[in-house]
Amino acid sequence: MGALYNKATQSVVYNKPDKNGNYKIYISDTLGKNEAALTFSGWRSDRQQWAEEWHPSGKYIFCQVEKADYVKEKHKRKPVDAVPGYGGYTDLWIVTRDGKRAWPLTNLPNNYNSGMTHCAISQDGKLFAWTERVGKPKFSMKLLAGEYVFRVADMILDSVPHFANIRTYQPGGLPFSGELDGISPDNTTLAFYSTYETKNLFATPIYTLNMVTGKISRLTTESFAQAPTFSPDGKKLVYMTGAGCDIFPFEIQGADWWIMNADGTDKQRLTYMNKKNHKQSVNHYRLAGCLSFMSNNSFLGGVMTKPLGLVGYTAKVVFTP
């Protein structure tokens, strides 16, 4: 959910479903004008295609693309398995912004255990990180969304773009559900949420992981929290949480965006979409989601208006640091 901003080209990239429910990629200016579809001739039109990150140069976009071939296995594969957020049966690709050339960056096993969700790229474009599914969803509060690990690779942009020096991180050395969403500007730290301590997908704290020392720091304790993203200067993290959110009649818990220092101190609420009768609220469920910074005090963020499916819009949030 939400548009991704690229400073170099003053463009955004985002995703929309076609009439058959298959997501496709679009590029426009920051006002949503001059929209153009982005695809590659080697991708099947009846498969999910989802933009995950810009390369900082604006020349390339990292995409999750559903595998073309169905293979026989115990699980009966369905198109919904590869819907972004579930991410089953998907690989990561890099494509030029004109769609003329594209290269696969991963070749994950073609089965229900494997897939990919949230990713992050460093500000200098040298590191790319992704959340990789290594186990199918289980009837467990801890692994309800599946089992994941984090991968971090050096991004090599030569005649055939590829990853090198892939590292794997598994917080606590335990099976977990969770997703990473940020790399610090100095390329040392990942920001993520996880169930590895709480064992509960509906009580997920925010953490940082220092890739040099291995130190993990827990930054939140209240409610559930997800989508932690570093500000461009690296001093702050913006994230979503259900803390302080009203629950509207016959609806479920929503979430708003908060900001904190990168060490977890000085938490402040930024939005009030789930505060009854607040000027930002329509007195109905809203779920703040992933975000893309435009500056140290503004970002674009996805807002879900329904708890199931990726139904919603992109909001621009401007705040005083």
* pLDDT of 86 over the 90 cut: no
- State the average pLDDT over residues 270-284: 98
Tens-place pLDDT, residues 295-319: 999 999 999 999 988 899 999 999 9
Q: How far apart are CA 16 and CA 226, in angstroms?
A: 22
Which pLDDT belongs to residue 5?
Answer: 98
Distance spanning both ends of the chain, measured CA to CA = 24
β-strands 268-269, 256-261: how paired?
antiparallel
Alpha carbon distance 208, 190 (integer Å) = 5
The residue whose two tokens read 């990292």 is 62
What mean pLDDT comes out for the span 165-194?
96
Q: What is the CA radius of gyration of the chain?
A: 19
* CB neighbour class for 125 (10 Å; exposed up to 12, middle 13-18, buried from 19): middle
Nearest to 133 by CA among 112, 158, 103, 153: 112
Model confidence pTM above 0.85: yes
Q: Which residue has the tokens 């050096």?
A: 154
The tens digit of pLDDT for each residue in 92-123 reads 999 999 999 999 999 999 999 999 999 999 99
pLDDT recorded at residue 142: 82
d(CA 107, CA 68): 12
Instruction: Quote the mean pLDDT of the chain.
Output: 96
Q: Which amino acid is at 75?
A: H
